[in-house]
Structure 1
Amino acid sequence: MKLGLAWSNGKVYSPMHGVTVSGKETRYSVLLFAMPKNERPIQAPVELVDDKHPPIFKPYYYDDYLRFCFSEEGMMQQCKLVAYCGTDATKEADA
């Protein structure tokens, strides 16, 4: 599970991907990351949450989540997002 899942209440999934390079041409890659400000919690917008679609992640602050990811406990988790802020609905979605 990825951060996009928390923002979209489980509707957007970001799959793992990789790049294979072959040939003799020089290739360049550019990484683009977005780091949310810690001023607002990461949570699904109200338009994506209702009785049929309860929130599957508790609101969280990115800095706190990042600290968890690099903590001893977080490093042991297969899915850090679920371990940090998953709800019972998250477990049902994974089943």
Structure 2
Amino acid sequence: MQKKTVGLLLASAGPFLWGSSGTVAQHLFDTTTISPLWLVAVRMLVSGGLLILYGFSRRLPVIAVFHDWRATVRLIVFSLFGMAGVQLTYFMAISTGNAAMAA
């Protein structure tokens, strides 16, 4: 498959998956007792694990970031305040309102 076609498919899949994740989260919050904090923790752990497995399968230097303590600190700060912070506020907005208003 050509790179242009792959890029188009991935660029189309991104918004679809992002939008459907909000709708699925709203359904989970409405029908179960799952909290936004739990959902964010599971999402971050599963996605991080999948990325690490992908890196190891492609023989990429996955643990190279841990050789420099400054890079490690930056990664931890970004993970907590960047990724988890954005995810948590998004899913908390969904749990109190709905997916359309949170988006």
Settle same-fold status: TM greater than 0.5.
no
Q: Which has the higher helix share?
A: 2
